[in-house]
Amino acid sequence: MEFRTEYRVTEAVQTAAARQMFHAIYLRKKWIGIVAMAVIGVVLWFQGWSPAREIGLADMIVAGVLAVLWVKTYFQVIGNSRTALRTLSDDQVTLRMGDEGMEMEMADSRRKLSWDKVDRVVETKDFMILVTGRLPVASLPKAELGGEVVEWLRGHAGRRAGGAA
């Protein structure tokens, strides 16, 4: 399959990609654990038994610290994406995809990525995010890709990468 498209990377697109990447890759369902820790801490706190109160307080403190760290990480991801956007000399991107990999070209740079370097493809509401190791390496807007390419990424690229599509 050969595919080519051009699109603009605006601040709205970059911010949406960062937000969806944070929720799909970094946060996922881990927030449930933080909420559960806080609830358990509150329940233990109201037991009235001294060791349970101390354990409950420690549990609530840990849950609070974790929540603060997640919020800090969220704003760091958003900030990093906006900083990256400001470094671009041009917001126009040409994307080429084929059986071996993909290439993103901008006015002053070109980036190639072969499918064997992609561990998994994470799909969000608006983006297909290519992940290598634990790092997202490309967020591709689904609206610019079209249904056929999105289906191809779900199946072919995910299987070829050995990850979950």
Tell me which DSSP letter residue 149 carries. H
What are the helix (H) ranges across 87-157? 142-145, 147-152
What mean pLDDT comes out for the span 132-153?
88
| Angle of the 30-45 helix axis to the 50-86 helix axis, nearest 10 | 150
**Given this model, what pLDDT does residue 107 score?**
84
**Given this model, what pLDDT does residue 158 score?**
54
pTM comes to: 0.76
Cβ-based neighbour number of residue 102 at 10 Å: 20
* 159 pLDDT tier (thresholds 50, 70, 90): low
Q: What is the overall mean pLDDT for the chain? A: 87
**Given this model, what pLDDT does residue 65 score?**
94
* 156 pLDDT tier (thresholds 50, 70, 90): low
Q: Which of 43, 41, 47 is nearest to 60 (CA)?
A: 41
* Domain coordinates in residue numbering, the chain: 15-86, 95-161
Residue 116 has pLDDT above 80, yes or no: yes
Compute CA distances 71 → 54, 66, 84, 154, whole Å: 26, 9, 20, 30
Residue 162 has pLDDT above 60, yes or no: no
What mean pLDDT comes out for the span 100-118?
89
Rounded Cα gap, residues 82 and 23, in angstroms? 17
CB-side exposure of 7: number of CA atoms within 13 Å?
Answer: 19
